[in-house]
Amino acid sequence: MLHDALIITRREIRDTLRDWRIIAPILILTLIFPWLMNVTTQFAINFVEEYQATIIPLRLVPFAVMVVGFFPISFSLIIALETFVGEKERSSLEPLLDTPISDESLYLGKLLASMLPPLFASYLGVAVYLVGLYVSIQFVPEWIVILQIILTTTMEALVMVSAAVVVSSHTTSVRAANLLASFVIIPMALLLQAESIFVFWGQYNVIWLILLALLMADVLLMRTGIRTFNREEILAREVDELNLGMTLRLFRRYFVGAGLTPRRIYGEDVPRLLRENRLPLATTILVVVAALLGGLTIAWVYPLPAELTQSFQIDPDYFQHQLQSTGGEVLPRVETLPIFIYNTRSLIGFALLGLFSFGSLAVLPMVSTMGVLGFLLGQMRLLGAQAGWFAAAALVPHGIIELPAAILATAFALRAGASIISPPPGVTAGENLLHALADWLKMTLFVVLPALLLAAFIEATISPQIVLWVLRR
Amino acid sequence: MPPLIETAGLTKQFDTLIAVNDLTFTVAEGEVLALLGPNGAGKTTTVRMLSSILKPTRGYARIASHDVAREPRLVRHLIGHLTEFPGLYLRMRPLDYLDFFGELQHLPQAERRARAEELMQHFELWDARDRRLGNFSKGMRQKMALIRAMLHNPRVLFLDEPTSAMDPHSAKQVRDAIAGLRGRGHTIVLCTHNLYEAESLADHIAVIRKGQLIAFGSPTQLKLDLLGLPLWEVRLARPSAHAWQPMLNEHAHIHSSDAWSLRYHTEHPEITNPLLLRELAAHGVDVLRLTELPRSLEEVYLKLVQ
């Protein structure tokens, strides 16, 4: 596999090196820009040292290394779009597809060809900058920070190239691919800004976390790329026209299926969807349990101070007095509709965010809610059995409906977000996404929303009565 | 001996579009099959399935007994494919270009160099070996693409419009090359709109319309099936007043006649024609010529696709 991949890589790198439009800017960014950055660093250091701000140079140098390293790798995106979709546009890809090379080798070969020249330029740029820095002010930054930045730069190049492949698989022209590339450039720009903040702040440990996140993104994008960059997908897509009518028809077909009668929905579709989505359901339940246990653990490790928990203790006489004086209206009034709207809005909002994060953000409300719940339940052990009864009365009646509904909504949103990563063989990422969205909508409309409405009604009308009954005793 | 190319119920569906539908045919080793059909008929999709770059939705195809879906890498070693567009790397030089594709076919370096030189000499491109492919004319690019497809000496060649964009001399070179390859036992599938080319080169012709095979056979057989019996013409040296019918046997049917000529159909020309010539000689009528009137493949094709 690697042998064939390297044949492709060698040819493509030679081709890239013959293109002055790519080579000229890379050379400028590799040799001239580090020198300019060096001058700027010297100037900045001299300036801030006048004010005894010695920490600034320490933070400025890693930032400068990051910028010097990143600029050349930004070309990897251009090269990747050119090598993946440009070849398709110039019809030079099909002769390659006719050779015995495997899809994976072809993908790997092109991936390396897109990454290696800009990465080499990036490393060279960093080296030129550091050598210049040593020569001019005899400053050597911490090697671990430099290693972090070089690794992050490498991972960023891989993210851009592997994302470019995913973008390329949805287009047939370089022009269209360039337009879609903003989906790669904007998140990378935001990431770079976040990274800059942490570098200036000196929070270098966060860079490891960023590196980990980039690695995960690389794995996901490469997996998607390998799925989409194959002979079948490449040749099946001749035009990248948005056919709204066909998209809607396909969505309708997935959503309506054989019909939308109550018997069919609740007797056939819902059980089938539950069976088919066992993996996202299991994942969500696991996340829920983990978040709950996490909250409990934190509460165990960090108990609230006694003086803080005192405020939760209610004097029985005072409570009885309040109960009589308010005619039983001691608890704050809650309405069904606001609760229902709030819950629905959260689940739908995070489901949409899940679409742009391979499903990962869809689980966020469950993680935060269950984490907080676990923490609160953990703290209640300090308040005694009364608090336990109160919590059970306040949460269990509507919780036994709301929690399964939220798990269902989260699981189907998770699947929708993840659907573009790994469409089944013979199914495009778009079709898979439409299918997953149709399933999510069906489950949301016919199961989740009715359940949330019922839960909100119980929470607003029945739970308070139960709480009062418990409190009176 | 099993056929070199074999398909049965071969079908390819893209979303709701059935590009190729239930295609069944065979091609023997050393034969040339011409795939004809209007644009969008499914010829390219068929060739892509036979080249193992698209998987059939239903049915199967085999090249030298190897299933195109199950043994794609093996199949791609056995075939060479001239794509519809040459798709060359324009910044490369010809020998580097061929070396790259030879390496992908796992040919030893000496062999791919020798083969590239041999083919470039044959197609009169050797003198242009130091030029970049971007400086080649359209015809030269097409020849380079053909050389690329032939480089590893494949048993089966798929040629999609091999002579398009070529001048008559280059087109003849390519046609001669195809005839030569057939002579050396290569099997060729030719997708073309050039019906003269198809008729002169192909042993069998397959006509595809809307993804379905609507006719398959030798050019002669297709003409017979679709246009009926061939038309013969006798042209006299001088006009004659003799009646024609008594001179013909029961196998012949007069199509048209006048004092100078007779046109007729016959199921057995080997009996009817000598008989007619003898009768004319016996009546002292001088014959200028007796010929079968040419019928083009174009008539067959138009009849099929319209």
Residue A185 backbone dihedrals phi, psi, to 5 degrees: -65, -45
Q: Chain B: nearest CA to A53, how far in angstroms? A: 54
Nearest Cα to A129, choosing from A85, A192, A70, A209?
Answer: A70
Domains of chain A, residue spans: 2-236, 244-472
Q: Cβ contacts (< 8 Å) between B53 and chain A: which residues? A: 94, 97-98, 231, 235
A95: nearest CB among B74, B79, B83: B83
| H or E segment to which residue B205 belongs | strand B204-209
CB–CB of B91 and A96 under 8 A?
no
Q: How far is Cα A52 from Cα A31, in angstroms, rounded to an integer?
A: 32
Residues from chain B contacting residue A424 (CB–CB below 8 Å): none
**What integer pLDDT is reported at residue A20 of this predicted model?**
82
Mean of pLDDT values over B278-284: 85
- Running along chain A, 473 residues long, what does each successive block of 10 average in pLDDT? 89 86 81 85 80 73 88 85 84 89 91 90 90 83 89 92 81 79 79 87 86 88 82 69 76 84 88 91 92 89 76 69 68 83 88 78 86 86 71 85 92 86 70 89 93 92 83 69
Q: Determine the pLDDT at residue A473.
A: 67
**What is the predicted pLDDT for the residue at A378?**
84
**Mean pLDDT calculated for residue range B233-237:** 89
pLDDT in tens, A121-175: 899 999 988 998 888 878 788 889 889 999 999 999 999 888 888 877 777 788 8
CATH class of B228-295: alpha beta
CB of A175 within 8 Å of a chain B CB? The answer is no
Cα B203 to Cα B179: distance, rounded to the nearest angstrom: 11
H helices present in B51-167, as ranges? 72-78, 94-104, 109-122, 138-150
Span B50-67, mean pLDDT? 92
Q: Is the pLDDT of residue B306 over 80?
A: no
Three-state secondary structure string covering A438-470: HHHHHHHHHHHHHHHHHHHHHHHHHHHHHHHHH
Pairing of strands B187-191, B156-160: parallel
Q: Which residues of chain A are within 8 Å of residue B104 when distances are taken between CB atoms?
A: 4, 7, 96, 99-101
Specify the pLDDT at position A329. Answer: 67
Give pLDDT tens digits for B158-188: 998 888 777 888 888 888 888 888 888 889 9
DSSP letter string over B60-76? EEEETTEETTT-HHHHH
pLDDT at B115: 93
Tokens of A42: 């010297």
Q: What is the pLDDT of residues B187-216, one digit of tens each?
A: 999 998 888 888 888 889 898 988 898 888
Of A19, A101, A235, the CB nearest to B54: A235
Q: Does B260 touch chain A (CB under 8 A)?
A: no
One fold for B5-217 and B228-295: no
CA–CA gap between residue B87 and residue A235 (Å, rounded) = 15
Q: Which residues of B touch A4 (CB under 8 A)?
A: 104
CATH of domain B5-217: 3.40.50.300
Distance in Å, alpha carbon of B80 to nearest chain A alpha carbon? 7
DSSP B161: S
Q: Which amino acid is at B226?
A: L
Query: In angstroms, how far is the first alpha carbon of chain A from the final one?
Result: 74
Given this model, what pLDDT does residue A313 score? 66
Domain residue limits, chain B: 5-217, 228-295
Helix axes A336-355, A364-380, angle to 10 degrees: 130
Q: Which of these, A354, A452, A456, A460, lies nearest to A406 by C-alpha position?
A: A452
Q: Which of residues 101-120 of A touch B (CB under 8 A)?
A: 101-102
For B81-94, the pLDDT digits (tens) are 998 888 899 989 99
Condensed to tens digits (0 to 9), the pLDDT of residues B99-133 reads: 999 999 999 999 999 999 999 998 888 998 999 99
